[in-house]
A and B are shown apart, each in its own frame.
Chain A
Amino acid sequence: MIRFYHVFKSYNRDAYSLSDVSLSVRPGSFVFLTGASGAGKTTLLKLIIREEVPNKGQILVNGQNVASLPVTKIPRLRRSIGVVFQDFKLIRTKTVFENVTFVLKTLGFDLKERRRKAFSVLKQVGLQHKTHCYPLQLSGGEQQRVAIARAIVNDPVLLLADEPTGNLDPDMANEIMNLFSKINMHGTTVLVATHDRDMIQRMSHRVITLHQGRLVHDTLPQGRLDSH
């Protein structure tokens, strides 16, 4: 699903945010990406959705070479990837329904189909009764669930989450992670960037650790190193 080949990324000449990172994520897997603040987690996610371009190396996402992807094809790539952010990134002036169905609207789905899909994903995240609420009328956990609903409404093959539980209390964080597991069980590849070690230990999934832009550990749940 995702392959990095000796990827380098720097925002200035002095330091690399990512340095010689090579990794592989299989379709349908659930992977944690961890490391201290500034380790390069967010940069790695940004490279996957082509928000940033690597200085060196190649990145394959679902068979597409993201580094050399023409600009006109970026929206299509992003529509195949669901992204969940720490700060939710919901449009405040749109209702829950509008936020969730926005991407469907840009893809030309009619209202009936948008309603059907939105109801289905909002039910999955337990917010089917809040379709007409605005983001600021919801709690942090509810907002994050709306963001997840928006990320999965288009049936993406890959779901990326950048510190999705960073702003939530432990109970809500558990609930959100259980939701990711459920999504993963339906076949979606899930990559979650987090520095919450307790959460990682509880979930028992593959863990990729970055430190100062370098990949320092790639650990399977059993504790052995992954050759990919």
Chain B
Amino acid sequence: MLQFLFFCFSEGLTNLWRSRVLNLLSIGTMMLAIFILGAFLLLGTNLNRALAHWERQIQFHVFLSDAVTPEQTDNLLGLLRSDPSVASARLIDKAEARKRFDDDYADYADISQNMEINPFPASIQVALASGADESRFRQLQDKLKKQAGVEEIHYDFELFKRLHFFSEFIQWTAYLLCGIVVFASIFTISNVLKLTFFSRRDEVDIMKLVGASRAYIRGPFMVEGMLQGLFGAGMGLVLLFLALFTLQNYLNWDTNSLLGQFDLVFLNPGTIWILLGGGCLVGLFGAAISLNQFLHEHISYQ
């Protein structure tokens, strides 16, 4: 068995090198396919990380009614601070709310100052603890709504829902691309191998005549297809890594400002192995398809 594998790999590698110009076509296709697929997976992974990162920093506001008493406010603060899903709860009284408006909207400060009554409600600014999700927030919201002195609870879920939807869209696009890419790669590899077979059909005839078994004839071709897939996938991943590295250096200021000191990460080792293994399988499958067509006509022992 080892001897057979050694034979297949040595012949497969030799054949790969011998038809290197032709093989560049299928390796290039696979490289491009893995690069595009990997880019989408990379985008999905980093978008998910960014969302998780932003969610950890998210805060919501519990607006208090004008009639709220200090006891009710203390009671609310105590309730929030004792909840494990709350990281912090801070009271913003009416005066501070007005000051924040004046600071944030300096152009309209006159409007605020000219008002005799402070229209800005007091609120409690709540930061959720790490790992707290939407369902936990809903429970907390239901509990707070029942408390006296609570006017409104504001949390911008729509934005996050949209971002999650976008992230899922990216991932599903990656899966769809995966299908197209796999099909295109199998098609290219099988056709390139068909050309290779035809260019070597004399060799195959000779192998047949000197008594090489079907396994010994097929083996090197299968290995050749597998190596095309593997090399293509490997080169695609290297290209993707270089692209990410360049992008990260070139746009460093931008990602920091957009994502808030958030580093882009490469695909995890599991995904890398899956893509490399997938490349091998696609190559093997492409080789098997063309071999079945070719062998039937040229390598059938009659």
Contacts and interface: CB of A to CB of B under 8 A. Distances in A.
B216 interface: yes
Contact of A91 (B206, B211, B302): B206
A74 B216 CA distance: 13
A63 interface: no
Contacts of A52: 302
A42 B269 CA distance: 59
Q: How large is the interface on A (under 10, 10 to 19, 20 to 34, 35 or more residues)?
A: 20 to 34
Contacts of B211: 75-81, 103, 106
Interface in B184-235: 202-203, 205-214, 216
A62 to B, nearest CB: 13
Interface in A35-68: 49-53
B209 A83 contact: yes
A76 B216 CA distance: 13
A93 interface: yes
A106 B212 contact: yes
Interface residues of B, number: 19
Contacts of A75: 211-214, 216, 301
B167 to A, nearest CB: 52
B3 interface: yes
Contacts of A71: 301
Contacts of B214: 75
B103 to A, nearest CB: 79
A89 B202 contact: yes
Nearest to B2: A108
Interface in A91-115: 91, 93, 102-103, 105-106, 108
Contacts of B210: 78-79, 83, 102-103, 106, 150
Interface of B: 3-4, 7, 18, 202-203, 205-214, 216, 301-302
